[in-house]
Amino acid sequence: MNTTKNDSNFFRILQEPIPLLNKKMRDHRHLTALMFMMSALLASTEWIWDYITDPSGAQNTIELRLMFLGLLAYPFIFKQIKNRRIIEFIAVTSGLIATIVFVEILNRLHNGISQGLGIFIYLLFLPLLMFQGLSLRINLISTFLYAATPQVLALFGLVPHFPYNQYAAMIWPAAIVLMITHYIFAQNYRRRYELEQALELASNTDSMTGLSNRRHFIPVLRNEIVRGHRFRHSVSLMILDIDNFKAINDAHGHPTGDLVICTLAEICRKTARQLDVIARLGGEEFAILVINAPLQNALIAAERIRAAVANTQLTNFDGFEFSFTVSIGVAEQPKENDSEELLINLADAALYQAKGAGRNCVMASTPTCIKPLATYMNELQQG
Residues annotated as catalytic are: 284
328: DSSP letter: E
Question: How far apart are alpha carbons 350 and 220 in whole angstroms?
Answer: 22
Question: How far apart are alpha carbons 291 and 339 in whole angstroms?
Answer: 16
Pinpoint the alpha helices (H) of the chain. 2-14, 18-45, 47-53, 62-67, 74-80, 84-107, 112-115, 117-130, 136-155, 164-204, 214-231, 245-252, 254-271, 295-310, 340-356, 373-381
332: DSSP letter: E
In whole angstroms, how far apart are CA 240 and each of 65, 220, 376?
Answer: 70, 18, 19
How many Cα atoms are found within 13 Å in the side-chain-facing hemisphere of 354? 33
Q: How many CB atoms lie within 10 A of CB 104?
A: 15
In whole angstroms, how far apart are CA 98 and each of 41, 67, 69, 126, 204?
Answer: 13, 9, 11, 11, 46
Coil, strand or helix at 134: coil
Cβ 147 vs Cβ 140: under 8 Å: no
Question: How far apart are alpha carbons 139 and 211 in whole angstroms?
Answer: 39
